[in-house]
Amino acid sequence: MALGLVISQSATGTVACSSTIDIVVSTGQPSAPDVTGMTEAAAVAALDAVSDISSGNVTYEYSDTIAIGLVISQSATGTVACSSTIDIVVSLGDICDLNSDGSIDWEDVMLMGQNWQTAGPVGDCNGDGIVDLEDYSKLAAKWLK
Ligand SMILES: [Ca+2]
Ligand SMILES: [Ca+2]
């Protein structure tokens, strides 16, 4: 909405005497919604739905806490300059979830076993260049969590 125009108010119509009505006035700049926790497609759609901003680059990172396919972070939220692009980071899931099915279980152990004592990358949960007992310990600690 253009600069200086009222976007919304706290009440309309009949109100009690001595009521105070709050108003929200446009700063004339677009506001980027918080899309963290959304799926990539929903986040891109939500950003593109706001006029004067658009979705930007999508990058992918492993995350212990954010489920696979969901947005971990974004480059900006709230009021941004017109024509801003908002980049998002999408979760690849847990690095120990070797088959990327959203849970850490025997299938991942099997995959790790197939890559045992190799350089990975599948199975190298700690990224040290070898699939070994340290990786198994890390995977086991996350078993079915
Ligand atoms: Ca898995
Ligand atoms: Ca390793």
Q: Where are the domains of the chain?
A: 29-91, 106-141
The two three-digit tokens of residue 134, written as one number:
């340290």
| CATH class held by domain 29-91 | alpha beta
Q: How many residues does the chain have?
A: 145
Calculate how far, in angstroms, residue 134's C-alpha sits from the geometric centre of ligand 2.
6
Torsional sign, CA 63, 66, 69, 72: negative
Calculate how far, in angstroms, residue 122's C-alpha sits from the geometric centre of ligand 1.
12
Calculate how far, in angstroms, residue 64's C-alpha sits from the geometric centre of ligand 2.
16
Res 107: pLDDT: 95
Res 64: pLDDT: 86
Res 39: pLDDT: 98
CB 72 within 8 A of CB 61: yes
Q: pLDDT of the chain along its 145 residues, tens only?
A: 777 889 899 999 999 999 999 999 887 889 999 999 999 999 999 999 998 999 999 999 999 899 999 999 999 999 999 899 999 999 999 999 999 898 899 999 999 999 999 998 899 999 899 999 999 999 999 887 7
Calculate how far, in angstroms, residue 129's C-alpha sits from the geometric centre of ligand 2.
6
Res 32: pLDDT: 95
Give strand pairing partners of 6.
Answer: 25
Res 27: pLDDT: 76
Tell me the H-state helices in 5-92: 40-48
Calculate how far, in angstroms, residue 107's C-alpha sits from the geometric centre of ligand 1.
6
CB 32 within 8 A of CB 78: yes
Residue 110, classed as helix, strand or coil, is: helix
Calculate how far, in angstroms, residue 67's C-alpha sits from the geometric centre of ligand 1.
12
Calculate how far, in angstroms, residue 91's C-alpha sits from the geometric centre of ligand 1.
15
Instruction: Name the DSSP letter for residue 67.
Output: P
Calculate how far, in angstroms, residue 7's C-alpha sits from the geometric centre of ligand 1.
47
Centre a 10 Å sphere on the Cβ of residue 6 and count the other Cβ atoms it contains.
10
Res 143: pLDDT: 84
